[in-house]
Amino acid sequence: MPEGDTVLQTAARLHAALAGQVLTRSDLRVPRFATADLTGRTVLDVTARGKHLLTRIEGGLTLHSHLRMDGAWRVFAPDERWRGGPGHQIRAILGNTEHTAVGYRLPVLELLRTDEEDRAVGHLGPDLLSPDWDPAIALDRLLAVPDRPLGEALLDQRNLAGIGNVYKSELCFLARVTPWLPVGALPDGVLPRLVTLAERLLHANRDRPTRTTTITSELRTPPPRGPGPAPDTGRPRLRPPHRVQERLYVYGRARRPCLRCGTPIRLADQDDRPTYWCPGCQSGPTP
């Protein structure tokens, strides 16, 4: 499922394949831009903004795409067989002499002026993976509607950009609250630490082929180091026969035992999104 870290990886692959190269093939398979021809133009860069991709092209143009749930960009060598779906799912092709980038099932694909990119991404909150990430702005936006359920607030890209459904469920688990708890009802100090943890998790996964959240600990400040036993990291104590390498705490683990307390993980919809939580570890309202 594409989230901020996955989209950043996609941008890096596209940048490596296309940036600095002249396009020898261009095919945008959406009615509005079907006649647009980008061949002969140089790709300047490919960057991610939240869960959006911006491919900037010579002549002041930007190809804006969004993967949402099922979209994907694949990069192929000249004689490599394309893989990613049937031909009718292809929405964009950008090629040069060395690589061809193929966009499958892209629900958003538009060509716009580079100086008008704000029309596509200007509504986004602070980007968790951007060098100009500002947690204070993210906190202010999350707290602006204190009655809103935490899970919905985290998914709203106007508050902070990059969190998707996987991170939503995992962050609520680490905060020990349900995704239906209103933002304003969170215990003191939890929301700032949750925002910090969100940024830490996305950065930890930005270069990983497979996303994980079990590399981190509870939402708390680590105790100072000193003489004596090593501090508790907050990692789950797996009980036999569950001593396995788990990548996620709750997402995709419905009816399986919680890694922390053993209670079966529950699944329900929140705003039409599958949402996972542990009724033993997480307090707050449930469906």
Six token digits for residue 225: 């180091």
CA atoms within 13 A on the CB side of 122: 6
| Contact assessment for residue 153 and residue 159, using Cβ atoms and an 8 Å cutoff | yes
Each residue's pLDDT tens digit, 230-239: 333 344 444 4
Query: Per-residue pLDDT for 69 more than 90?
Result: no
Tell me which residues are annotated as active site: 2-3, 51, 273
User: Residue 130: enclosing H or E segment and its boundaries?
Assistant: none
Question: pLDDT averaged over the chain?
Answer: 90
Question: Rounded to two decimals, what is the model's pTM?
Answer: 0.85
Q: Which residue has the tokens 């002026």?
A: 113
Instruction: Return the pLDDT at 245.
Output: 55
CA pseudo-torsion sign 43, 47, 49, 53: positive
> What value does the mean pLDDT take over residues 257-265?
96
Answer yes or no: is pLDDT of 216 > 80: no
Give the model confidence (pLDDT) of 85-122 as tens digits.
Answer: 999 999 999 999 999 999 999 999 999 999 999 999 99
Amino acid at 189: G
Q: pLDDT tens digits, residue range 11-43?
A: 999 999 999 999 999 999 999 999 999 999 999
Q: Given this model, what pLDDT does residue 232 score?
A: 38
Please report, as a single letter, which amino acid is at residue 44: L
